[in-house]
Amino acid sequence: MALTVVYAADTGHVVGALALTGARTGVGTGAPPEVADLVGSALPLRVSLDDGRIATLPLSARELAVASVDDEPGALADPLSFGVEVTTDGKPKPALVRLASWPDNPDNIALAADGLTLTVQVAVARPTPVVALVSDEQNTHVLAGEIPAQQTQVKLPVTLVAGSVHGVLVLAAGWAGQLRTEKVT
């Protein structure tokens, strides 16, 4: 069985995986369905906040891509732990890659009133793209940047209220995606 995955085009993170059965778009050509056919205008990722509310972090379909890949059962249960690599001509490789785990440290993602700081365990060899979404009542802040080569950290600016609680999605290329609740310090 093969999988169809939806992934973040900028970082390669798998954000959704499904095993399609029956008639498919592109049958006979091996072409996966279009992103909009699978997610509409956005793919909503949800996380529970501390008071029973749910934060919805919508990934725009414009920022996503679809690939048909080899069977990887783990991608169905924990898609953010896998990534899609593309060839030099921009085509997705058929095998998913398992992404590096974040260190077991709650401070590796720190949300403050003036920004989101991400810290990885070892210095990155080359500039590493980062995309983060932070819920904020009716809006979602979309933050983008990169961890510079030979560094372990990046701070993405955002203005938040001290003590507030937010849903956060962090996608740093090469590292497993993080979807969690964070309190502003």
2-18 pLDDT per residue, tens? 899 999 999 999 999 99
Residue 21: pLDDT band with limits 50, 70, 90: low
Measured between alpha carbons, how far is 92 from 61 in angstroms, rounded to an integer? 17
- Contact residues for 39 (Cβ-Cβ < 8 A; gap 6+): 6, 16, 59, 61, 64
pLDDT exceeds 70 at position 24: no
- Contact residues for 17 (Cβ-Cβ < 8 A; gap 6+): 3, 4, 5, 6, 72, 75, 76, 79, 82
181, 129 Cβ separation under 8 angstroms: no
Report, in angstroms and rounded to the nearest whole number, the Rg of the chain calculated over CA atoms.
17
* Residue ranges of domains in the chain: 3-42+61-98, 106-183
Measured between alpha carbons, how far is 32 from 65 in angstroms, rounded to an integer? 10
What is the predicted pLDDT for the residue at 166? 96
Specify the higher pLDDT residue, 162 or 33.
162
CATH 2.60.40 fits 106-183, yes or no: yes
Residues forming a β-bridge with 8? 64
pLDDT exceeds 50 at position 26: no
- Whether pTM exceeds 0.85: yes
Burial class of residue 24 (count of CB atoms within 10 Å of its CB; 0-12, 13-18, 19+) = middle
